[in-house]
């Protein structure tokens, strides 16, 4: 990890300003190295995007919410030629600038980077698929962002999410984490503006018919500890292909 990224993570998410100002303050100095640093930390992204893409018909309209640098669009790669419009939505200008550079470099004519808040963004047409990769834990009003995303989907559309989480203590989750895990990880990540708990996965499982669900643990580079993550793909509304 480079010094600028390490220093920013030690200082944590800025405490003052709007959510957008905090995100920019947190990510501006990391933007150049974001992809390299996060590659070993954000587990399960390729698998979730592949599971989602496999369910999409030609011409499907897709959005990634909280796209950051657009790294996950690379996973859509083989599918981009056959998909319809793809919107890459984020509230953080320094990361979105990297995403725009990537779109231009790759010549992805149907991909558009959009600066917008996930809680209010409405696409120009109903979506066939929407996905969040490690962004739902970084959006404080996550329920509003999820509700907005679900409302943006056509009936029978698919939602994909991959993120860190910890279970509750009541046994209502796909696995039950021990007390130390449930205590430690929310506190570790809170400093960097990332909020872990059981609620997001519970809301997602209740939102639609789950077609793909995986829970696992992934190493945090450099510290030898493993953090729980999940990936889920669910169909929302009446079941239909693509």
Ligand X SMILES: C[S@@+](CC[C@H](N)C(=O)[O-])C[C@H]1O[C@@H](n2cnc3c(N)ncnc32)[C@H](O)[C@@H]1O
Q: Rounded to the nearest whole angstrom, what is the least distance from the CB of residue 29 to ligand X in the complex?
A: 14
Are the C-beta atoms of residues 89 and 63 closer than 8 Å to each other?
yes
The yes or no reply on residue 5 touching ligand X (CB under 6 A) is no
92 counts as binding ligand X under rule CB under 6 A: yes
Closer CB to ligand X, residue 88 or residue 158?
88
| Residue 175, helix vs strand vs coil | coil
Q: Which is nearer to ligand X, 47 or 239 (CB)?
A: 47
Question: Which residue intervals of the chain are DSSP H helices?
Answer: 3-11, 19-27, 34-39, 45-53, 73-80, 93-106, 142-152, 179-190, 199-207
Told to check if 88 binds ligand X by CB under 6 A, we report no
DSSP secondary structure string for all residues of 15-44 = SSS-HHHHHHHHHGGGGGGHHHHHHTTSTT
The interface mask with ligand X, positions 48-87, x = CB under 6 A, is ------------------xxx--xx---------------
**Does 117 engage in binding with ligand X (CB under 6 A)?**
yes
Separation of alpha carbons 178 and 200, rounded Å: 19
230 counts as binding ligand X under rule CB under 6 A: no
Between 35 and 209, CB nearer to ligand X: 35
Q: Which is nearer to ligand X, 41 or 213 (CB)?
A: 41
134 binds ligand X (CB under 6 A): yes
User: Interface with ligand X includes 45 (CB under 6 A)?
Assistant: yes
Q: Are 42 and 69 in contact (CB under 8 A)?
A: no
100 binds ligand X (CB under 6 A): no
Distance of CA 109 to the CA centre of its chain: 23
CB-nearer residue toward ligand X: 61 or 65: 65
d(CA 175, CA 29): 37
Handedness of CA 203, 91, 157, 160 (dihedral sign): negative
Say whether residue 138 binds ligand X (CB under 6 A).
yes
Task: Kindly determine how many residues on this chain lie close enough to bind ligand X according to the rule CB under 6 A.
Answer: 23
Site for ligand X, rule CB under 6 A: 19, 23, 38, 42, 45, 66-68, 71-72, 89-92, 95, 117-119, 133-135, 138-139
């Amino acid at each position: 990890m480079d010094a600028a990224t390490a220093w920013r993570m030690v200082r944590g998410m800025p405490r003052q300003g709007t959510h957008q100002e905090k995100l920019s303050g947190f990510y501006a100095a990391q933007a150049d190295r974001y992809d390299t640093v996060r590659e070993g930390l954000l587990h399960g992204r390729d698998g979730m995007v592949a599971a989602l893409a496999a369910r999409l018909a030609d011409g499907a309209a897709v959005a990634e919410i909280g796209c950051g640098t657009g790294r996950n669009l690379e996973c859509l790669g083989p599918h981009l030629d056959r998909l319809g419009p793809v919107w890459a939505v984020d509230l953080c200008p320094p990361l979105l600038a990297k995403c725009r550079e990537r779109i231009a470099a790759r010549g992805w004519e149907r991909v558009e980077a959009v600066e917008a808040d996930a809680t209010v963004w409405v696409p120009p047409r109903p979506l066939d698929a929407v996905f969040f990769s490690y962004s739902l834990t970084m959006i404080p009003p996550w329920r509003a962002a999820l509700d907005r995303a679900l409302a943006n989907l056509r009936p029978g559309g698919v939602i994909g999410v991959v993120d860190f989480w910890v279970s509750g203590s009541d046994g209502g989750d796909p696995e039950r984490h021990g007390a130390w895990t449930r205590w430690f990880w929310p506190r570790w990540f809170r400093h960097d503006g990332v909020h872990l708990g059981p609620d997001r996965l519970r809301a997602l499982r209740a939102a639609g018919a789950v077609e793909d669900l995986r829970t696992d643990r992934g190493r945090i580079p450099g510290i030898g500890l493993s953090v729980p993550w999940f990936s889920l793909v669910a169909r929302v509304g009446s079941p239909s292909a693509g």
